[in-house]
Amino acid sequence: MKNRKKLGIIGLVVVLAIISFAGCSSNDVKTGNNDVNITTDVVVIGSGGAGLAAALEVKNAGKEVIVLEKMPIIGGNTLRATGGLNAAGSSAQATLGLEDTVEAFFTDTMKGGYDKNDPELVQILAEESAEAVEWLLSMGGDFNDVGKLAGATNTRAHRPTGGAPVGPEVVKTLRSALEESGVKIMTETIALKLIEEDGKVIGVIAEDKDGKEFTINATSVVLATGGFGANSTMLVEYNKDLEGFGTTNHSGATGDGIAMAQEVGAALVDIEEIQTHPTAVPSNGYMITEAVRGNGAILINRDGERFVNELATRDVVSAAMLAQEGKTGFLFFDQGVTDSLKAIDGYIKQGIVTEGETLEELAEKAGINPENLKATLTDYNQYVASKEDKDFGRNDMPRSLENSKYYAIEVGPAVHHTMGGIKINTEAQVLNAEGKAIAGLYAAGEVTGGVHGGNRLGGNALTDLIVFGRIAGRSAVNN
């Protein structure tokens, strides 16, 4: 009898511990047939940049938060981001003597998106961009190198010193801050359905890695599940021309959050606007950062000729690439570009770069016309010297290409970013078809639409994640 009482007390303690749970790994919660209820203040679904930023804002406000992540690791597509985080008026720009304005950022983004963007969201993006960088810097992140990406009037793409990939640095910075604050993330845990009661979202039904369902009750839910760039069926549903395309997205980018939001009446915006990235490796879809072109590389075809302004918007460069033989081209650069960007070292180690001590050697290895390549380089280097690209009007040519070794990477377009998604307002509240906020539901990042319009500028995705992730977290707390 005493043993039974003792076991009963232990069991009660265990149940109370689970109910008071405020964030743990999926292995820490034993569930069965949806018979476990967890209560917290905010649930964040997705652990990319937007989800991590939202969760940190919630925790910093003194509230409890649970983060659900269906993949075995955190980071989502943010881990794959390489180019930069756009911001206007940051301390890093000031240190480097770079001038930029919120107005220029706003204008560039609207122009890049063909004015299909929601101007109110873009204004928030531009206004809070510098603070996003300062916030990350305050947590020990390295975003002190600033480069220029396609479509930007000014140099505003913040990245780690030496031009290393920016996404992993964002994830590392946010993850460290969350770990220090005691927030844990339930990985390999799938959000199945939003719980709605009397027109208000009050929680989530989730499933752990063993297929057992459980319920999380919360005051607010933040959707940060990313886009649908890895969902080939959904992509073709909205754009039949994308059938057979590869993708730069991680395998978890399947549009789950969009579907869940629609079930509770969320409206969608710009859902058909899908961006291809022009420089992905055809064999595996690995994206080569736009910063390679920004730091001086050119694009050539198999005939050894340039065929586009390398810093035109992604849709323009992608279309030009598809018009070439084999629907691919080559990023061509020299040792000077390689030395300027640390990310290139990673590409070389992966074995996706063709190298040559001379132009002739490189051309032979890559299957490029050597005589035309020589002529192209001669012309281009003259354009750099005269600061006038007579062929394609490229207005930013930071260096000539004449320092051996020489390098080439075969590249072609792949699905990269889905600009459309859930409709939100400036407070990151999810809106229904009537334009009214769905109580208790917020969204940020690529799961949303309206920020990027018809074409996303390189460097704006990470700004979007941090700016609206933070807003979603604060709004969820205020709710």
**pLDDT class for 285, splitting at 50, 70, 90?**
confident
DSSP string, 213-275: EEEEE-SEEEE-----TT-HHHHHHH-GGGTT--BSS-TT-S-HHHHHHHHTTB-EESTT-EE
Calpha distance 149→297 (Å, rounded): 12
For residue 283, the model assigns a pLDDT of 83
> Would you say residue 13 has pLDDT above 50?
no
* 36 vs 21: which has the higher pLDDT: 36
User: Phi first, then psi: what are they for 247, rounded to 5°?
Assistant: -145, 150
Calpha distance 352→400 (Å, rounded): 23
> Would you say residue 10 has pLDDT above 50?
no
Fold of 22-273+419-479: FAD/NAD(P)-binding domain (3.50.50)
> Which pair of tokens denotes residue 69?
């992540």
Q: How far is CA 297 from CA 82, 260, 349, in A?
A: 16, 42, 19
pLDDT digits (tens, 9 = 90+) for 215-251: 999 999 999 999 999 999 999 999 998 987 889 999 9
Active site residues: 314
CATH of 276-415, picked from 3.40.50.740, 3.40.50.2300, 3.40.640.10, 3.90.700.10, is: 3.90.700.10
Average pLDDT score over residue span 66-74: 97
> Would you say residue 25 has pLDDT above 90?
no
Return residue ranges of the chain for CATH 3.50.50.60. Answer: 22-273+419-479
201, 439 contact by CB (below 8 A): yes
> Would you say residue 4 has pLDDT above 50?
no
For residue 329, the model assigns a pLDDT of 96
pLDDT digits (tens, 9 = 90+) for 311-334: 998 889 999 999 999 999 999 999
Nearest-Å Rg of the Cα atoms of the chain is 24
pLDDT digits (tens, 9 = 90+) for 94-126: 999 999 999 999 999 999 999 999 999 999 999
296, 340 contact by CB (below 8 A): yes
Average pLDDT score over the chain: 92
> Which pair of tokens denotes residue 334?
């020299």
Which residue from 400, 373, 375, 372 is spatially nearest to 385, judged by alpha carbons? 400
Peptide bond into 405 cis (omega under 30): yes
For residue 35, the model assigns a pLDDT of 53
pLDDT digits (tens, 9 = 90+) for 388-430: 999 999 999 999 999 999 999 999 999 999 999 999 999 999 9
Return residue ranges of the chain for CATH 3.90.700.10. Answer: 276-415
pLDDT digits (tens, 9 = 90+) for 330-379: 999 999 999 999 999 999 999 999 999 999 999 999 999 999 999 999 99
Give residue 403's identity as a one-letter amino acid code. N
For residue 16, the model assigns a pLDDT of 31
**pLDDT class for 163, splitting at 50, 70, 90?**
confident
Please report, rounded to a whole number, the percentage of residues in the chain having pLDDT higher than 90.
Answer: 87
> Would you say residue 36 has pLDDT above 90?
no
